Amino acid sequence: MNKWVLGARPRTLPAAIAPVVVGSALAAAEFNLFRAFLALQVGLWMQIGVNFANDYSDGVKGTDEHRIGPTRLVASGLASATSVKGAAYLSFAIASIAGAWLALLTSPILIAVGLAAIVAAWGYTGGKNPYGYKGFGELSVFVFFGLVATMGTYYVQTNEITWLSFVVAVPMGALSCAILAVNNIRDRGQDELVGKKTVAVRLGDTNARREFVAFMILAHVSAVATMIPWALLTLLVAPLSYSISKLVLRGVTGKDLIPVLGRTGKLQLIFAVLFAVGLAIH
């Protein structure tokens, strides 16, 4: 596989696609293909940018020297730290262009939101006081890859924010957090050794696994809480949610969690498609 595709971490990209699918479906009556496309570019390139930024920051800090998960470019020596940082900057630049275009079409407020997202993306593992090392990763993911991504997609097509757009954003945030939770459970031992106090490190192995299941439950409960009958379509994926949760609770560790991460990403995408169909019909 091309090293840059590897560094972009394709298994994490459903977290960027799913909110746009759901937000656009909620805006079905006023759906705008071009604006949805721009929103998708923002989401995808922000996710890719975050991945490269984390690769760079963790690499130069030495956090990934004994990594269990997928290969990181800097730590493995596949690419220089400078080139990976450049890839992160380029990704954020592409996301910024798409975001600025959306701002011109809708509201300049989106520029401020976009800048906040980029600062949060870099600050996750970068800088002198990365908040990801203090256990705030899930909170950031929930806000930016859940609430902001879903509600933002809805807003750029309808020019409004509603309570319902918030509620439908919650499952997207919860499932994105579930992806991060699996990642942190896998890396918990190494993170603890290097002083990276993720939620998984702070909670301990057993409670971190329960946290993952809680995110899965929250996603399903929130979809039902919309009180939209067709949203019950999301329950079709409940057996898959149960299967993945059972694996995590069973104590799967190390490299065996890598396919679980992939399955969780696929779950989010399938969930989003079913949810989107229900919202569009409604």
At 280, list the tokens.
């569009």
pLDDT of residue 160: 94
Residue 193 burial (CB count, 10 A): 11
Confidence band, pLDDT 50/70/90 cuts, at residue 65: low
pLDDT of residue 146: 94
Highest mean pLDDT among 19-23, 185-189, 259-263: 19-23
Lowest mean pLDDT among 20-24, 56-60, 96-100, 220-224: 56-60
What 8-state DSSP symbol labels residue 275? H
Does residue 9 register a pLDDT over 60?
Answer: yes
pLDDT of residue 76: 80
Question: Please, which residues have CB within 8 angstroms of residue 29's CB and are 6 or more apart in sequence?
Answer: none
Task: Identify each DSSP E strand in the chain by its residue range.
Answer: none
Over range 267-282, report the average pLDDT.
94
DSSP string, 188-237: HHHHHHTT---HHHHH-HHHHHHHHHHHHHHHHHHHHHT--GGGGGGGGG
pLDDT tens digits for 190-243?
A: 888 878 899 999 999 999 999 999 999 999 999 999 999 999 999 999 999 999
Q: At 109, which helix (H) or strand (E)? A: helix 109-123
Query: What is the distance between the alpha carbons of residues 69 and 183, in angstroms, rounded to a whole number?
Result: 8
At 176, list the tokens.
């994105």
CA angle 32/115/87 to nearest 5° reads 90
Closest CA to 226 of 148, 169, 143: 169
Does residue 1 register a pLDDT over 80?
Answer: no
The pTM score is 0.91
Query: What is the distance between the alpha carbons of residues 1 and 3, in angstroms, rounded to a whole number?
Result: 6
pLDDT tens digits for 12-21?
A: 888 899 999 9
Query: What is the distance between the alpha carbons of residues 89 and 49, in angstroms, rounded to a whole number?
Result: 7
pLDDT of residue 226: 93
Over range 243-261, report the average pLDDT.
90
Residue with tokens 């799913």: 18
Q: Which domains does the chain have, with CATH numbers?
A: 3-281 (1.10.600)
pLDDT of residue 5: 86
Mean predicted lDDT score pLDDT of the chain: 91
Assign residue 159 a region: left if phi > 0, alpha if psi is -120 to 50, beta otherwise? Answer: left
Question: Please, which residues have CB within 8 angstroms of residue 197's CB and are 6 or more apart in sequence?
Answer: 133, 134, 135, 191
Over range 146-168, report the average pLDDT.
96
